[in-house]
Structure 1
Amino acid sequence: MLSPVQLHVFPSCYSSLSCSADGELALAAGEYVHVITPKGPSKENTSSAPTATSSNWQITRFRANVFTNKEWPTILPQDRENFSIGAEQSNSTVAGLAWSPPGLAKHRRCILAVLTTNLILSFYEAVGPQAKWTRVAVVNEALRSYFGPLISTSSLSMRKSHIRSFAWSPPLLVPSSEETTTRAEHRWGIPLLTVTNDDNDVIFLRAQRSIGSARNSNPYSIEVLSLTPLHDPVGNNRVAHSSIFASAVKTRLKSLSISYGPWLFQESGEGDWAAVSNVAVVYGDKLKIIKQSVKLCLDMEDVNVQPKCEMSSETTLCSHDINNHNFTGPLQWIYLDGSAEVHLCAGIRAGMIVVTASCAAYKASAIKPEHIKVQEWPFYNEPEENSQDERSRHWESIGGCLTFQTTQNAHQLSSPPWKSQVDEICERFDLDHDLGGLVSARVWGLASYRGLVMAAVTRHPGDRIEYRTSLEDLTAIVFSGANSQCDEPGSFPTTPEPNRSPDAVHAKRKALLGYVLDAKRSKYDARPWSQKILYAAACCAVVESHEDTLLWLARKAFEWLSSSTGLDLTDEISKCSAPGSTIDAKSETQLSGPGLEVFEKCEVCSSGISWYSAHEGQCAEGHLFVRCGLSLLCLQEPGLSKFCSVCDTEYYSEDVIDSSYGVEFQHSYLSLSDIFDTCVYCGGKFRS
């Protein structure tokens, strides 16, 4: 059973817990964000995964409220309509955080987006060998650049660039007709982000990691794709529309809860696809739905994303059953691939609403009332027996929402699966402070990872006004299965052991060598392709491959190199008919002239390096080097490597490959690292 992880902090917002696709937990706690990463199995004991005790977690934290003047410009007092002393004079504590889908950050990991109370949304990732969490982008800068030329009033421009809420979209995976594809849009999808600003605009953004970001002052580019303003919500029956009070309330309505719906595809032409998603927003206390459609042109060399975002008509979800409720959030979409319906869970006062629509209605331009089904789940406690008070006690508003699909049909609400662990925490708190059982617990955030549910819980006295110092702050992260019928998890589901069987490694290497050696795909004559990488791939095919196709491609590569450089590669060409052979180190004469651009040379003694293995190389004088798992060249200098986080295979780091290594080598290796962006042997993600 997983033990709770206890941190001496206090959460600063609801939905304060988020888990990435790589198993990294992030907890919002005041001015800090705590990142909790499971440690992998130790080399001494690789048979067991870590349990959730503090010794088996790597816990780091970083301050999220330290900004430069460029990131957070000084703002002088403005007029009453556009200036908020709450945001401008706050301590900039964390008001929300969420991990992006995988593929956006370096090494195809997840970016952590953090929203602070000064209404600034920042991106963070671990940078450098020490994995120091660093702010790498500020979304507000993209909004200021977008609205700056359009708005002349500085106060209105400030409201336009302040962010109130945000949500990441599910991965927009571009459909592919090929079984295996090398394009990132097919494998990882297009990362999209939706934010609402202080002027109640819903803004759709696309975030991209810049090419060569290690040498770029702006490692991430953020592009505004479209903007949809929110209008007046459906009126509250208790407030007259034409009253002065209604006008004053209108300027203070904010959109504080937002959720991205699933992407549904439909073919719009030969080679073209259209993807449709709905974004749910709680505007004031009413529910708004914004439809987003994206056209994907797949016949172009680069995926051309032309989003067409339009606000649904005022009749969208305009039914009596919905408009009579006061929505508080949060929002959660539910959809399984192939399902005929899409569900939306929305928190209301003392309960929850579940809105169900068919996929056809979900993709339509407007959702008509007759096409939806609304079900209300009130949350309250029945009066106890022999109690003088016969009234039901309603619960507080929902603070977090998490959904799981099970094979069992649940028609009634049940206790959460983590209740027993929370009861144990409260019981210990009760005994320590002699509270006589009057203890309550509060859940500040929910997250899930590979069938595991995590909840951030605090405990409080129930019979007195709570007085707490920072020394007494305690947040427990408890772990459980998806429902009460699931077995208690015994360990955190870390990355599985790599499949390094001969067949699996051979298949991975075949894909790599096939891509490098395929003249039609690589276009040796049309673009600068590294002759060193091409020669190394051909040698690797000769040394370790018995595939006729790869040996034929290796022969063609040797012949092209010989004809284009004038080098004598007769020995290499002949060995293509004898797989499993070794290739001797080149002489000093062969390493000069054109051979300098093709053959490897030892940086220590300037002698040639022989080819007998794809994992290591040795020069004529006996110096031994590890070969890069991607370029297959020897790593001869320290500080050049990145490593697979699972199997520790060593690779050249694309961050250190600049023009000093040659334009051809730089271009080729950056292309390879973009295509083979995970370990070619086990599929693990890289670490610096």
Structure 2
Amino acid sequence: MADVTELRCWPSCVNALDWSQDNIIALASDERIELLFPNTVSYERDNDVPQWQHVPLQVPWFSNDELPLKNPAPLPNYSIGEEISPSVPIAVSWSPPGLAKHRRCALAVLTSNLVLSIWSAEGKLHEEPSWNRRLLINNALTDYFSKSSATEISSISSKPEERLRLRSRIRAFAWAPPLSGESRTMGTQVSYGRQYLAVSNDDNQVIFMVVESPTSSLGSSSSWKADILAHASLRLEEGTSSTEPELFEDIVQQQRFIPHIAWSPWIWQGDQHRSVVVYATNEDIRARPITFKDGTMSLGDEITYQRMDVRYSGPMSWCPQPDSSDLLTLALFTSSGLAYLSVSAKDASIVDKTSHNLDGRWDQISGVVWDHDKQPSPRLHFSSLLSTVQSPTAVLQKTSGTLESGKAPNWKEKIENSTVLFSVKNDLKGHSRTKVWGLTASALGDFIAACNSLHPSDSIEYGPPADRRGTVALSTLKPYSKIRESLPIQNTTAESLLFTLKKLVENTVEDAEQMPTFAKETVDKMMQAYRSDDISDGSVGAVDINDLEGLVKELKVRAVFDENTLKDRYGILVSQACGDTSSNELSRTLISYRLATALQRLSPALAHTPFSEEILMHQNRLTSLINGLLFPNEAEDDVMEGIEGATSAQILIRGLIIHANIPDYFRQLVGTLDQIRAAIAADENIIRDAGSDTT
């Protein structure tokens, strides 16, 4: 089936799955990270079902340059993970879009040696050599605390070199969700903003940092880096810390690190953004309100949620969508069950609390997904490592002040069916069990992926690692008919939307004659769901030419958010989902034409080099050619006056600024220049035919 792929490995941790905005699923296994690219069945159903594409990343491998050898730590600070572990992945999470090249997502991987690394691709996503480790967050902690740790007292170690060792280890991390309020359409944002990351170390501290790449810095930086913005230490209770514990009980009860971190979505209140960061201690939950205003992030005072122990359980998960009263919803999976909280974004206080016993299950929660699309209250899907199939509850929804269990979801039914088939295939007579390693939702929230492995329950399982098998299966969170009725109105990318459109074609279009109707209907719905009202009437040239971010923003507003260009872009995307790209030439040509027109309105002062002048010359030729075809009886000035600038994500989107001080932008425009030359030289006949048809 196209909705299922088999893995030749077992996952290495719970919450082992994460689905990016770029439609890539990352899976943590013992020896590598598996990047999974889900495929769909083409409309020609006679073809074989395509297999998913798997790209392995050798995350556990570190060079001596990346991780120099360290002297063994003394017994009080000794870490098995840091010193002798095989560096298996223990947590994975994709960043929001905008950090990696071409404004894609970057992958953060925490390994058992307590090292957090950032991975991204430089070339084709489906090729393993394109992916590489770009940054080690631990190095940023070492640089930061080597300058400041001498004046700070540690509750665990009194020696400066050991304090630095503890503060450079990473136990947990969480990306900040993207800031709300920026104008955006499908696949394009006016401003991506900065990417924030929170990590915890081995000395009871939470560190807030910003991660930057050559892409996010608009070419001003040639390398990846992480800058520490602030750090906060836990307020420790008496008796929970000691630099020299003597008894085993003291060692077990000692508060040494923060095992879980979760960062809430942002809420716009007044003139600033607000969110809440929660993190777990041995005995309770701590929370800090975060405010973001005028490019500056500030931390509020720490507050405590008493009698909520998630030290050996977890996880903690925020609902991605605030409720109607701008309250944040937090699910805490504690040792005694689920605590379902409504939290104020202003001061991080608990407004409402509901609990559920989770059927008395004792095993660890392995996956959490929120389904929050157009419902009175969000539905919480969750799995546990060993008892998902046996326990009746897999979905909870808050109704009339209580948490009620919903019917078994599709993903659970698929796991139950695979368990039965495994038992029959291996003649186990029902003696089989399933381990569920994780759940993750697609970017649009319409699909859910579940990872599980199958095992015998009444005998010893043995065999080489090559015989290990796991499964990742996709399920819908709602029927395809409802997905087709209205597309989810939320941040997304072209890759995620294309996947949903292909699934709709596969499951709702029964006849080729219905394809044009489906295409027109879908484009109209996309225009309603993913259009921007941020249309600028001013000239791009009015922006200060030294304000790079301002130039990018204003040019995107004029060149991307034009209604005609949005419709052309969505039409091209839908045609790809329908498998008919023969009618895209005119749309692509007009998109290039509108973008070339918008770029010509930039100030001539930006063209300082022969390269930029050559680009403008070819764009002038392109616009003159199409103007002559589309408007043969009008003067050029009248034509230019009535044209709105626009572009697509596939043509010229990464070469928006022509600035002599940023040579990287010029190099990115080389491919664009070749396309323009080809359009003028090789495809001139196509353009003329398209123009004559239009006129």
Question: Is 1:259 matched with 2:239?
Answer: no
Q: 1:308 aligns with which of 280, 296, 299?
A: 299
Whether contact under 8 Å (2:322, 2:328) holds in the other structure is: no
Whether contact under 8 Å (1:6, 1:476) holds in the other structure is: yes
Helix, strand or coil at the partner of 1:144: helix
Q: 1:447 aligns with which of 440, 443, 459?
A: 440
Question: Is 1:336 matched with 2:321?
Answer: yes
Tell me the C-alpha RMSD between the 2 structures: 5.4
Deviation at 1:90, TM superposition (A): 1.0
Q: 1:146: which partner in 2?
A: 144
Deviation at 1:356, TM superposition (A): 2.3
Q: 1:317: which partner in 2?
A: 305
Taking a change above 3 Å as real, the CA distance of residues 528 and 134 of structure 1, as seen in their structure-2 partners, is closer
Give the TM-score taking structure 1 as reference length: 0.66
Q: 1:540: which partner in 2?
A: none
Question: Is 1:170 matched with 2:177?
Answer: yes
Taking a change above 3 Å as real, the CA distance of residues 233 and 402 of structure 1, as seen in their structure-2 partners, is farther
Question: Is 1:223 matched with 2:199?
Answer: no
Helix, strand or coil at the partner of 1:81: helix
- Measured against aligned partners, the alpha-carbon deviations of 1:583-640 in whole angstroms (never above 9, x if no partner) come to xxxxxxxxxx9997786379xxxxx889313899xxxxxxxxxxxxxxx9xxxxxxxx
Whether contact under 8 Å (1:97, 1:115) holds in the other structure is: yes
User: After the TM superposition, which residues 449-464 of structure 1 pair with which residues of structure 2 at under 5 Å, given as runs?
Assistant: 449=442, 450=444, 451-464=446-459
Whether contact under 8 Å (2:138, 2:170) holds in the other structure is: yes
Whether contact under 8 Å (2:289, 2:299) holds in the other structure is: yes
Distance 1:460 1:196 in 2: 35
Q: 2:415 aligns with which of 419, 422, 431?
A: 422
Q: 1:494 aligns with which of 499, 514, 533?
A: 499
User: After the TM superposition, which residues 317-466 of structure 1 pair with which residues of structure 2 at under 5 Å, given as runs?
Assistant: 317-318=305-306, 322-323=307-308, 328-334=313-319, 336-340=321-325, 341-349=327-335, 352-357=337-342, 359=344, 362-364=345-347, 367=349, 371-380=351-360, 394-405=361-372, 406-407=375-376, 409=399, 411-412=404-405, 414-449=407-442, 450=444, 451-466=446-461
Helix, strand or coil at the partner of 2:144: helix
Question: Is 1:294 matched with 2:265?
Answer: no
The one-letter code sitting in structure 1 at the alignment partner of 2:357 is: W
More helix by percentage: 2
Q: 1:677: which partner in 2?
A: none
- Measured against aligned partners, the alpha-carbon deviations of 1:462-501 in whole angstroms (never above 9, x if no partner) come to 1122223213211101222227x88899999616589999
Distance 2:195 2:301 in 1: 19
Question: Is 1:115 matched with 2:115?
Answer: no
Distance 1:164 1:615 in 2: 63
Q: 1:249: which partner in 2?
A: 252
- Measured against aligned partners, the alpha-carbon deviations of 1:200-221 in whole angstroms (never above 9, x if no partner) come to 2111111122359898996322
Deviation at 1:518, TM superposition (A): 3.5
State the aligned residue count. 545
Helix, strand or coil at the partner of 1:18: strand
Q: 1:198 aligns with which of 195, 202, 207?
A: 202
Deviation at 1:224, TM superposition (A): 1.1
The one-letter code sitting in structure 2 at the alignment partner of 1:200 is: N
Whether contact under 8 Å (2:277, 2:289) holds in the other structure is: yes
Q: 1:611: which partner in 2?
A: 624
Taking a change above 3 Å as real, the CA distance of residues 463 and 111 of structure 1, as seen in their structure-2 partners, is same
Helix, strand or coil at the partner of 2:210: strand
Taking a change above 3 Å as real, the CA distance of residues 511 and 261 of structure 1, as seen in their structure-2 partners, is closer
Taking a change above 3 Å as real, the CA distance of residues 325 and 159 of structure 1, as seen in their structure-2 partners, is closer
Whether contact under 8 Å (1:26, 1:36) holds in the other structure is: yes
Taking a change above 3 Å as real, the CA distance of residues 120 and 262 of structure 1, as seen in their structure-2 partners, is same
The one-letter code sitting in structure 1 at the alignment partner of 2:543 is: R
Q: 2:543: which partner in 1?
A: 521
The one-letter code sitting in structure 2 at the alignment partner of 1:441 is: T
User: After the TM superposition, which residues 536-575 of structure 1 pair with which residues of structure 2 at under 5 Å, given as runs?
Assistant: none
Taking a change above 3 Å as real, the CA distance of residues 243 and 339 of structure 1, as seen in their structure-2 partners, is farther
- % identical equivalent positions: 25
Helix, strand or coil at the partner of 2:120: strand
Whether contact under 8 Å (2:322, 2:329) holds in the other structure is: no
Whether contact under 8 Å (2:285, 2:308) holds in the other structure is: no
- Measured against aligned partners, the alpha-carbon deviations of 1:389-427 in whole angstroms (never above 9, x if no partner) come to xxxxx4423222222234585723543432221122222
Question: Is 1:99 matched with 2:116?
Answer: no
- Measured against aligned partners, the alpha-carbon deviations of 1:283-316 in whole angstroms (never above 9, x if no partner) come to 22x332221322312xxxxxx223234322xxx3
The one-letter code sitting in structure 1 at the alignment partner of 2:296 is: V
Taking a change above 3 Å as real, the CA distance of residues 437 and 495 of structure 1, as seen in their structure-2 partners, is closer
Whether contact under 8 Å (1:27, 1:35) holds in the other structure is: yes
Q: 2:463: which partner in 1?
A: 468
Distance 2:347 2:218 in 1: 43
Deviation at 1:345, TM superposition (A): 1.4
The one-letter code sitting in structure 1 at the alignment partner of 2:419 is: C
Whether contact under 8 Å (1:123, 1:136) holds in the other structure is: yes
Give the TM-score taking structure 2 as reference length: 0.65
Deviation at 1:193, TM superposition (A): 1.1
Whether contact under 8 Å (1:439, 1:460) holds in the other structure is: yes
Helix, strand or coil at the partner of 2:274: strand
Deviation at 1:36, TM superposition (A): 0.8
Question: Is 1:36 matched with 2:36?
Answer: yes
Taking a change above 3 Å as real, the CA distance of residues 463 and 333 of structure 1, as seen in their structure-2 partners, is same
Distance 1:123 1:150 in 2: 25
Whether contact under 8 Å (1:210, 1:221) holds in the other structure is: no
Helix, strand or coil at the partner of 1:339: coil
Taking a change above 3 Å as real, the CA distance of residues 557 and 125 of structure 1, as seen in their structure-2 partners, is closer
Distance 1:594 1:323 in 2: 62
Whether contact under 8 Å (1:142, 1:222) holds in the other structure is: yes
Deviation at 1:117, TM superposition (A): 0.7
Distance 1:454 1:262 in 2: 22
The one-letter code sitting in structure 1 at the alignment partner of 2:251 is: A
Structure label with greater radius of gyration: 1
Deviation at 1:188, TM superposition (A): 3.3
Deviation at 1:180, TM superposition (A): 7.5
The one-letter code sitting in structure 1 at the alignment partner of 2:259 is: L
Question: Is 1:600 matched with 2:623?
Answer: no
Distance 2:628 2:434 in 1: 55
Whether contact under 8 Å (1:169, 1:193) holds in the other structure is: yes
Taking a change above 3 Å as real, the CA distance of residues 468 and 293 of structure 1, as seen in their structure-2 partners, is same
Helix, strand or coil at the partner of 1:74: coil
Distance 1:525 1:374 in 2: 50
- Measured against aligned partners, the alpha-carbon deviations of 1:349-388 in whole angstroms (never above 9, x if no partner) come to 3x532232353xx4226x37xx4424232423xxxxxxxx
Helix, strand or coil at the partner of 1:494: helix
Whether contact under 8 Å (2:310, 2:334) holds in the other structure is: yes
Q: 2:394: which partner in 1?
A: none
Deviation at 1:196, TM superposition (A): 0.9
- Measured against aligned partners, the alpha-carbon deviations of 1:645-679 in whole angstroms (never above 9, x if no partner) come to 8xxx4448659x9xxx9827859869999xxxxxx
Q: 2:80: which partner in 1?
A: 85
Deviation at 1:76, TM superposition (A): 0.8
The one-letter code sitting in structure 1 at the alignment partner of 2:359 is: F
Distance 2:239 2:464 in 1: 43
Helix, strand or coil at the partner of 2:171: strand
- Measured against aligned partners, the alpha-carbon deviations of 1:490-531 in whole angstroms (never above 9, x if no partner) come to 9996165899999x99xx9x999989964313659999999x
Q: 1:15: which partner in 2?
A: 15
Distance 1:233 1:528 in 2: 48
Helix, strand or coil at the partner of 1:121: strand
